[in-house]
């Protein structure tokens, strides 16, 4: 068995090396397992092996040498880790297409052969997302936006900046895993966004509501729209994807599942009478669209591990803290402002309530505080170590202000507000899924948490959770096996 | 001695002569932790009022928010205090839009002060349905937010429109004013009646009603404030015909 796992890992690593360079022509097997710092992740192709040669997800179909797989690597839970990015810089001398000037650098106007010009990608795994301002959907936004600090120079750049030719706000974000998407795409059971009292966006082709949970700012509602957007921006495609290419890309994305399957501490994560949520086969098997309940908790039951090895007991305790430990959730836009009260004495699972994914069943963009002053993850604005841009956002007098930050807000990423133009959305970022976390550090939309412990530390500080060192470690161990 | 007095006040009943009297005031809300659910309270004119307990969006009571003042409109209920406060029922709580950093009172759990058991009640604060084709949606002060209950009522209205073969849906929006217990009057912002009505109309269209079948009327003169019942003037009436 160990030999078999070793072979799969070796094969997977070999395949990955090819895929990274977009030199495709191999078969991505039905199950491929990859090493990561915590253990092993398995990629499961539910529809069987995928021939990557000629496949538009794996081929550089744009103009800059990138393919979708460039930033959605099987070994990294279909996202891309900071370690993998740094390794690619070393291996390619910065020539890998992932470092394309358009968004793989801090600013396309900088000299692209220098490491410093790609520091946000290399340090934090962040890609530049340039969003037109004012947004196309809302020509009269509720706020004005000024660039306060621009470490990369891109937001004041005469070509790429806010007042430049592009008329764009550039923010820097982590890529999301393109896997387990039935859990991401399943819309809430009502056609409404129950948090905001408005209708969900619709799929323009089917007219049916979409989940609005796929992207950090929910700007694309369907895989097809996202693929077309990524083709034009990240891949710098010009001629457009054909219907056949779009169909191939979205079909692949819908059938791929990822999760950890082996952990250095917990060992085998699947099989036997272990937790029923672990491993990609269980993600394939379970139904999407299920809300957390006592009968079906978010990550099902870890009871079998409560009397197991010390590490597995720690994981089970972490799951228990996630589900049941109550603390005061305070000043979170689109959580405390939607009829739950501010503060609300709740547990993690009240917001991370979707079974198997840990996302929100309702559209999950919330202002947790990671990108907005004073709870943001960044050093002081004035600090010379600041890496991200800072914007001053001023809400118009007649607009509804941000519920907990008022009318003047300093932010490193206005999030959903860059799409809607609404003050209430400033800093609101869609929560991501919890699966394959061990394979895709760093965390948070801005890559500010290098480790799961740093992620847990942020929550502990943000909500004064008063977790003990052991409890933090329990949460880290729990998150790491997902 | 102070503790004793506080304890006595916390459990003293509400006198029958107070029952049914209307209260309307704008204050900072307070939250009290308990062994079970946190309670939301408001102090006004030397008295503490119980507003409700923490719940979810499926409940009738949507709690206040610290960092904001709250408009409380309700009727005093006779009987024992709840969570240390005089209960108001029905009670409508509207979060004031602007931030007030002085609203930050969190009270610790205290022996003898307990939250009432959770009881699921009809969402009377949000919607009143009179037959399958007539619904009235209620709104918080200066707000056009459609609660889960209001959106549910619109889904039902559209289902009835389609099933019954009705020709049209009439939407009428109103704005209100509130006579506060202090004697002052709060009036909702101008134009809100139309904002509410058009939001409801757009939602009906989004749910599948032909645009041509939806008519919109806005009554932007605020209904005169008189105290009790003012909260129910902030409304949109949806009639399937």
Q: Are A162 and A145 in contact (CB under 8 A)?
A: yes
Q: In this structure, is the dihedral angle defined by the CA atoms of residues B97, B98, B103 and B104, taken in order, positive or negative?
A: positive
Q: Are A361 and A377 in contact (CB under 8 A)?
A: no
Mark B161-193 as b/e (b = at least 16 C-beta within 10 Å).
beeeebeebbbbbbbbbbbbbeeeebebeeebb
CB of B141 within 8 Å of a chain A CB? The answer is no
In chain B, % of residues over pLDDT 90: 87
Domain that holds residue A159: 1-482
CATH classification of B127-240 is 3.30.70.600, yes or no? no
> Are B2-107 and B127-240 equal in CATH topology?
no
3-state secondary structure of A3: helix
A406 vs B40: CB contact, 8 Å cut-off? no
Return the CATH number of B2-107, one of 3.30.70, 3.40.50, 2.60.40, 2.40.50. 2.40.50
Which pLDDT band holds residue B14 (cuts at 50, 70, 90)? low
B99 vs A340: CB contact, 8 Å cut-off? no
From chain B, pick out residues whose CB is under 8 angstroms from the CB of A332.
none
- How near does any CA of chain B get to the CA of A195, in Å? 8
Q: Are A108 and A204 in contact (CB under 8 A)?
A: no
B63 vs A341: CB contact, 8 Å cut-off? yes
CA pair distance A177, A186, nearest whole angstrom: 16
CB of A189 within 8 Å of a chain B CB? The answer is no
Pick from A199, A336, A405: CB nearest B206:
A199
pLDDT at A128: 98
Pick from A192, A343, A405: CB nearest B66:
A343
pLDDT at A383: 64
Per-position pLDDT tens, chain A of length 482: 444 444 444 444 444 444 444 334 489 999 999 999 999 999 999 999 999 999 999 999 999 999 999 999 999 999 999 999 999 999 999 999 999 999 999 999 999 999 999 999 999 999 999 999 999 877 799 999 999 999 999 999 999 999 999 999 999 999 999 999 999 999 999 999 999 999 999 999 999 999 999 999 999 999 999 999 999 999 999 999 999 999 999 999 999 999 999 999 999 999 888 899 999 999 999 999 999 999 999 999 999 999 999 999 999 999 999 999 999 999 999 999 999 999 999 999 999 999 999 999 999 999 999 999 999 998 765 566 689 999 999 999 999 999 999 999 999 999 999 999 999 999 999 999 999 999 999 999 999 999 999 999 999 999 999 999 999 999 999 999 99
Domain ranges of chain B: 2-107, 127-240
CB of B109 within 8 Å of a chain A CB? The answer is no
B207 vs A199: CB contact, 8 Å cut-off? yes
CB of A342 within 8 Å of a chain B CB? The answer is yes
Q: Are A405 and A426 in contact (CB under 8 A)?
A: yes
Rounded mean pLDDT, B179-192? 98
pLDDT at A380: 63
From chain B, pick out residues whose CB is under 8 angstroms from the CB of A361.
none
Mean pLDDT across chain B: 93
Sheet holding B214-219, edge to edge: B127-129, B134-138, B235-240, B169-174, B214-219
Pick from A190, A338, A406: CB nearest B151:
A190
Residue to test with chain B: of A196, A202, A342, most B Cβ within 10 A: A342
Q: Would you say residue B46 has pLDDT above 80?
A: yes
Q: Number of residue pairs across A and B with CB atoms under 8 Å?
A: 80
CA pair distance A295, A41, nearest whole angstrom: 28
Which pLDDT band holds residue B86 (cuts at 50, 70, 90)? very high
Structure tokens at A153: 């120079």
Pick from B38, B67, B146: CB nearest A404:
B67
pLDDT at A17: 42
Q: Would you say residue B212 has pLDDT above 50?
A: yes
């Amino acid at each position: 068995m160990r030999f078999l796992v070793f072979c799969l890992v070796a094969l997977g690593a070999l395949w990955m090396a090819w895929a990274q360079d977009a030199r495709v022509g191999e078969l991505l097997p039905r199950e491929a397992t990859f090493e990561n710092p915590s253990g092993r992740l398995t990629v499961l192709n539910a529809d069987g092996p995928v021939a990557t040669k000629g496949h538009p997800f794996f081929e550089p179909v744009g103009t800059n040498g990138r393919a979708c797989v460039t930033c959605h690597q099987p070994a990294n839970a279909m996202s891309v880790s900071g370690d993998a990015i740094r390794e690619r810089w070393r291996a390619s001398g910065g020539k890998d297409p992932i470092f394309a000037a358009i968004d793989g650098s801090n600013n396309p106007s900088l000299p692209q052969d220098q490491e410093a010009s790609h520091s946000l990608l290399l340090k934090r795994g962040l890609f530049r997302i340039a969003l037109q301002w004012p947004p196309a959907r809302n020509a009269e936004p509720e706020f004005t936006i000024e660039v306060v600090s621009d470490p990369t120079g891109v937001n004041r750049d005469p070509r790429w900046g806010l007042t430049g030719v592009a008329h764009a706000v550039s923010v820097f974000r982590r890529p999301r895993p393109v896997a387990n998407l039935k859990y991401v795409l399943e819309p809430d059971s009502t056609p409404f966004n129950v948090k905001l009292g408005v209708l969900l966006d619709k799929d323009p082709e089917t007219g049916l509501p979409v989940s609005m949970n796929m992207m950090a700012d929910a700007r694309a509602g369907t895989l097809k729209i996202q693929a077309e957007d990524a083709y034009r921006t990240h891949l710098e495609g010009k001629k457009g994807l054909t219907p056949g290419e779009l169909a191939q890309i979205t079909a692949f994305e819908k059938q791929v599942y990822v999760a950890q399957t082996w952990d250095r501490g917990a060992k085998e994560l699947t099989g036997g009478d272990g937790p029923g949520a672990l491993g990609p086969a269980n993600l394939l098997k379970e139904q999407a669209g299920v809300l957390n309940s006592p009968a079906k908790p978010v990550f099902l039951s870890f009871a079998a591990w409560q009397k197991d090895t010390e590490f597995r007991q720690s994981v089970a305790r972490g799951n228990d803290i996630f589900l049941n430990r109550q603390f005061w959730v305070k000043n979170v836009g689109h959580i405390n402002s939607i009829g739950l009260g501010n503060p609300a004495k709740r547990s993690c699972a009240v917001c991370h309530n979707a079974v198997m994914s840990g996302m929100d069943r309702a559209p999950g963009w919330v202002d947790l505080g990671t990108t907005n002053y004073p709870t943001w993850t960044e050093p002081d604005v004035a600090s010379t170590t600041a890496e991200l841009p800072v914007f001053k956002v001023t809400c118009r007098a007649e607009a509804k202000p941000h519920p907990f930050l008022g009318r003047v807000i300093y932010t490193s990423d206005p999030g959903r507000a860059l799409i809607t133009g609404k003050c209430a959305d400033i800093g609101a970022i869609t929560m991501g899924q919890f699966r394959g976390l061990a394979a895709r550090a760093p965390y948070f939309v801005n890559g500010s948490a290098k480790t799961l412990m740093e992620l847990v530390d942020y929550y502990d500080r943000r909500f004064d959770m008063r977790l003990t060192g052991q409890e933090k470690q329990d949460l880290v161990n729990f998150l790491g096996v997902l | 001695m102070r503790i004793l007095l506080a304890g006595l006040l916390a459990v003293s009943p509400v006198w029958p002569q107070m029952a049914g009297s209307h209260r309307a005031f704008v204050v900072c809300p307070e939250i009290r932790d308990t062994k079970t659910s946190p309670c939301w309270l408001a102090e006004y004119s030397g008295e503490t009022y119980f507003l409700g307990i923490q719940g979810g969006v499926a409940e009738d009571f949507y709690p206040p928010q610290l960092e904001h003042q709250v408009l409380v409109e309700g009727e005093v209920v006779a009987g024992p205090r709840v969570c240390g406060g005089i209960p108001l029922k029905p009670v409508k709580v509207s979060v004031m839009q602007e931030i007030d950093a002085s609203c930050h009172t969190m009270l610790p759990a205290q022996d003898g002060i307990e939250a009432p058991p959770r009881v699921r009640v009809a969402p009377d604060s949000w919607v009143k349905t009179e037959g399958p084709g007539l619904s009235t949606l209620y709104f918080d002060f200066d707000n056009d937010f459609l609660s889960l209950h209001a959106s549910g009522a619109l889904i039902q209205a559209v289902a009835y429109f389609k099933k019954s073969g009705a020709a049209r849906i009439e939407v009428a929006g109103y704005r209100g004013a509130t006579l506060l217990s202090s004697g002052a009057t709060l009036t909702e912002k101008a134009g809100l009646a139309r904002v509410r009505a058009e939001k409801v109309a757009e939602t009906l269209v989004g749910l599948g009603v032909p645009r041509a079948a939806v008519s919109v009327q806005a009554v932007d003169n605020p209904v005169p404030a008189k105290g009790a019942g003012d909260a129910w003037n902030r409304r949109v009436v949806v009639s399937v015909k």
